[in-house]
Structure 1
Amino acid sequence: MKAKYAFAVDSALAIKTWPPNMEKLSHRPAAGIIGKKVDKIFPLLQGKIELVFNDGKKRRITDFRNTCLMGTDLSSDVYINPVKDKKGKVGEVHVEFDNVTGECPLGRRLSDSERMIAIGKVASSLAHGVRNPLNAIKGAVVYLRERYGHEATLLEFSTIINDEINKLDRFISNFLSAAKGETKFVQVNLEDVLRSIITMIKPRAEIQNIDIRQDLRVLPPVSGDPFQIEQALFNIINNAMEAMPKGGAINIKTSLKWEKDSDYASIEISDTGKGIPEKALSRLGELSRKPEKNDRGFGVFLSREIIKSHNGKLLWESIRGKGTTFKIFLPVNSMGPISPGGK
């Protein structure tokens, strides 16, 4: 019989207890956990815990995934139980992990939010570095429009430049928000996200003689951050384009899958490139200290981290001479309770 692990959360959504077996499992002492908001340690559990506080009903999540740095999974069932006072009001919630499988190496256990914050520190620095010259370009465009506004051609192209600067500025704002953990999950329409990406890459695809084939089905919305999901999918599609500099085809297919008591939105992205060498394939998605030219690793790493932070999965396969396929799975029901009842 596998050990059970549990901790308590108070009505302010702060972690109230962190027993020794939780310390052992996480390699994190109670002194560094107690008092922290639960979303800082288990961001994907906060919504379910709030629901239990609101309606007093216990909930169960099957096959909950929490991930170590660089991708090792811990899988468990989670039971979220209310503890009520004499008046029937929920005073605290007990969170119990059962059937825990997997193990993180000592010192490498990080919560989803902490992994993204670690990446975000670098991302924030890069974003600020881009924004400074961007502001200088915008100032130059304003000057040119004021000085030479009577010239139709210059006015037309300066308007295009200004519009693109504004788009990039919005992108950077979203990027910084994600890096700081200032994201809120909303209902996301994956078809809209994919069509937006396809519109964005079409001009480049035409230049590279790449045929974009779509088979997009109507799917239920997923719960997530629209900006992060778009970036995860864009990274995969962009990698597919880079794999075919002399032309080819990208197939984008969506469907609804049923797996382990939950519906998943499935997105399959495949290319007709040369495929990934076996040695590189085994390291795909890892952070390399010496990135090579046209290295897919970092983009795949970011995509995988984003998808895992949304309780999803990213899988891939590649055949030399035929191409590479990425499969993304995102739960369509992660906004509410996954399974009411429980123990």
Structure 2
Amino acid sequence: MKIGLLLPESKTARYEAFDRPLFESKLKSLGDYEIVYANADQDAAKQQQQAESALTQGVKVLVLDPVDAAAAASIVSEASAQNVPVISYDRLVTSKDLAYYISFDNEKVGELQGTALVDKLKADNTTTGIIMINGSPTDGNAALFKKGALSVIDPSGIPILASYDTPDWSPDKAQEWAAGQITQFGSQISGVYAANDGTAGGAIAALKAAGVTPIPPVTGQDAELAAIQRIVAGDQYMTVYKAIKQEAEQAAVLASKLASGETLTGDTTVDGTQATLLTPVVVTVDNIKDTVVKDGFYTIDEICTPDYAAACKTAGLE
């Protein structure tokens, strides 16, 4: 039996490193399944073609993480016309015909990021201004991250100096934009809201290139290995860890059940679709061992390479 898995891009490290292999491994443990896989490389038209190919190959279920939430509605329509249920994975497709939606509470992700940043800036008494580097304008989750963050930042009284929606979640574009803001605002920038670890890396590269010291607190999301190492080194303040293993494996179980003809009931509904929303967790230097290491997401050895050995020792990661 064939199950389709369509992921949106590879600039964010998690998809190829975690989501795909975890999903495939779990699904294969559940039965004799063939996985039809494709990555759209941030191209909505390409994803449409990949979906059509998967349907032509006879997939019984489609697990879809959309490049463009609105454009992907046509994929759901085509699948529904062929009685192929679609699980919206990680990002919500703008469609009423979905069979299920599994993700994290994405507005909560933004709230966690905003709260961590505001609390840090107030504790350090550095509240002159924040620049916001948001996610891709075609990613529905990015709007939720921003909404959640603004729900904390706006009432804080800390001014937002400038805000940017990063095309394709591109670290390079985030870096380029951040460099311009550093030139314009200089030391007024007391904090950086970055929607994920890739854009955080771009912002930090711009800050370092401009000789900014100390680097102001920078947020992130996805708990990428490079981000965890930046947190250990003191270059990035925090990230949001999402238990991708749980998300990917649950998606595989849901796909298997749908392939067997079961009707799914979620813990909640989102826009009328049955859904499971998993809980995100803030990671700072203080709880790396109790989160990503404890869950087996990374080992101490993976984090504490020679370049980070001294910082790891200081952080108690030994």
Which structure has the greater CA radius of gyration? 1
Greater share of strand: 1
Question: Do both share a fold (TM > 0.5)?
Answer: no
TM-score, with structure 2 as normaliser: 0.27
